[in-house]
Amino acid sequence: MKNEEPEKDYTTEKKIKEAARKIFHQKGYAATKTRDIAEEAGINLALLNYYFRSKRNLFDLVMAESFGQFFFSIRSILNDESTTLGQKIDVFAKVYINLLNDNPNLPIFVLSEIQANPEWFQKALGLNKKMISSSALFRQIQEHLKKVGKEHINAFHVVLNMLAMTIFPFVGRPVLVKLTGMDDAAFHDFVNERKTFIPMWIKNMLQLTD
Amino acid sequence: MKNEEPEKDYTTEKKIKEAARKIFHQKGYAATKTRDIAEEAGINLALLNYYFRSKRNLFDLVMAESFGQFFFSIRSILNDESTTLGQKIDVFAKVYINLLNDNPNLPIFVLSEIQANPEWFQKALGLNKKMISSSALFRQIQEHLKKVGKEHINAFHVVLNMLAMTIFPFVGRPVLVKLTGMDDAAFHDFVNERKTFIPMWIKNMLQLTD
DNA sequence: TAATGCATTAAACATTTGATTAAAATATTT
DNA sequence: AAATATTTTAATCAAATGTTTAATGCATTA
């Protein structure tokens, strides 16, 4: 019998999946060749189909995982009934920027694949109207906006601004880097500054003095 | 001799280019098949190569145009030395949201192609460090931040926030629509609200009481 | 050690897809 | 109207690409 999980990252299956994730994130589904994945993983082309049946199947696995990271990883934060609005805003920026620092291509990958193939996501992932509007974050923003006399502002605007200010630097990263002359380290410092700036800006938007 | 431009939009060449723009914007380069373009344009496949030599050549034309819209269409606004900072912020949101309402897929298209193929853009388009940092907008933001005692905030953050809040709703549109239950008309109204909200938020960020 | 089952490889297959060709249709010029 | 040039079409080509197959290697088991 085999020893219990010696180094899981070096199994052929893991190598292929990890290589696929890397190339898919970089190039997208259509531009990725199965031979590119095989080369990146350092394995024979046929092993890809041996372990994963098809390119599409492998992609679906990667996408499900990526989509989960992108969307569901922060749900527990935003749905936590025991934290204040100010706390949620603080922790969101920190956690999400950390996530994106580790997966800088994740946003464009997910969003462009959805744009190219919107029907697929309808059934594949269970996105529904309730997911945001029933969240604790959304309700707390609504309540706060009313308290400060700004109930004419749809709370979605505020949520969207949080997401936009956090995610967009990574979506526009290649252009931003060219446009500012930042190298990878400088970009890293720049977005990390935003961990404190974004909560400040959002609270300012809400006139939240917390 | 031919009459001077009767209806330019109905020449075969225009039909192909318009169809190409539509499909490329939706699917991206790699996922777009020349046969899809031909079908969308209602022409024989061979005509694509007859008029444009190759898929790549056609793509380059579309991309150059799209990239120009996306980046250069607002340069004149941001570089205008005769307008105040407040005026620039006001007009930017209006103009850019109008542009994106007409081309909702433009941001993801441009940004994902750049991510998939960053080397190509190095030489193809002339993006350089000076383009933003030497703009009138950038200088005015810097000056203002100093005036209100916030010179520790990099002016790039503010520019990026303007871009993020304006562009991101379109980048995330498919998800946003699913997540909120908005239809096309509702989405249109929602982003149009932001024409006045975004300038308000940015000015608030800058403590600009203009 | 022989046998068995899983993993890996090289080669080939079938389809897709960008591009070309040669003929036909249409327009333009002489 | 005849000749010429331009545009369009159907068919085909060649390369790329996802997938399969049959043989080989390798470890585990009997």
Asked if the C-beta of A49 comes within 8 angstroms of chain B's C-beta atoms, the answer is no
Amino acid letter, B199 = P
Cβ partners under 8 Å of residue A114, min gap 6? A121, B174, B175
What is d(CA B185, CA B197) in angstroms, rounded to the nearest whole number? Answer: 19
Q: Give me the pLDDT at residue A36, please.
A: 98
Tell me which chain A residues have a C-beta less than 8 angstroms from the C-beta of B180. 129, 132-133, 156
Give the pair of three-digit tokens for residue B170. Answer: 């379109």
In tens digits, what is the pLDDT along chain A, a chain of 210 residues? 333 333 345 899 999 999 999 999 999 999 999 999 999 999 999 999 999 999 999 999 999 999 999 888 889 999 999 999 999 999 999 999 999 999 999 999 999 999 998 887 776 767 777 788 889 999 999 999 999 999 999 999 999 999 999 999 999 999 999 889 899 999 999 999 999 999 999 999 999 987
Query: C-alpha dihedral over A116, A119, A120, A124, to 10 degrees?
Result: 140
Distance CA A16 to C1' C4 in A: 27
The nucleotides of chain C lying under 7 Å from a protein CB are: 7-12, 16-22, 28-29
What is d(CA A112, CA B114) in angstroms, rounded to the nearest whole number? Answer: 12
Least Cα separation, residue B195 to chain A (angstroms) = 12
Closest CA to A75 of A8, A27, A126: A126
Q: Give me the pLDDT at residue A1, please.
A: 35
Q: Give me the pLDDT at residue A129, please.
A: 75
Q: Give me the pLDDT at residue A147, please.
A: 97
What is d(CA B163, CA B141) in angstroms, rounded to the nearest whole number? Answer: 14
| Residues A199/A166, Cβ–Cβ less than 8 Å | no
Nucleotide nearest to B55 (CA to C1'): C18
What is d(CA A111, CA A77) in angstroms, rounded to the nearest whole number? Answer: 22
For residue A120, count other CB atoms closer than 10 A to its CB: 13
Q: Give me the pLDDT at residue A3, please.
A: 33
* 8-state DSSP, A81: T
Tell me which chain B residues have a C-beta less than 8 angstroms from the C-beta of A29. 31
Q: Give me the pLDDT at residue B9, please.
A: 53
Q: Give me the pLDDT at residue A6, please.
A: 36
Write down the H helix ranges in chain B.
12-27, 34-41, 45-52, 55-67, 75-78, 85-102, 106-116, 118-124, 130-133, 136-147, 155-171, 173-180, 184-206
Q: Give me the pLDDT at residue A210, please.
A: 74
Cβ partners under 8 Å of residue A17, min gap 6? A52, A58, A61, A62
Count of alpha carbons within 13 Å of A21, Cβ hemisphere only?
Answer: 18
Query: C-alpha dihedral over B25, A66, B175, B59, to 10 degrees?
Result: 0
Q: Give me the pLDDT at residue B3, please.
A: 33
pLDDT along chain B (210 residues), means of 10: 42 97 98 98 98 98 94 90 97 97 98 90 73 93 97 97 98 92 95 98 93
What is d(CA A26, CA A105) in angstroms, rounded to the nearest whole number? Answer: 6
What is d(CA A197, CA B178) in angstroms, rounded to the nearest whole number? Answer: 29
φ/ψ of residue A177, rounded to 5: -65, -45
Q: Would the Cβ of B44 be found within 7 angstroms of any atom in strand C?
A: no
Q: Give me the pLDDT at residue A10, please.
A: 83
Least Cα separation, residue A83 to chain B (angstroms) = 23
Tell me which chain B residues have a C-beta less than 8 angstroms from the C-beta of A55. none
Exposure string of B103-131, with b = 16+ CB inside 10 Å and e = fewer, is bbbbbbbbbbbbbbbeeebeeebebeeeb
Q: Give me the pLDDT at residue B6, please.
A: 36
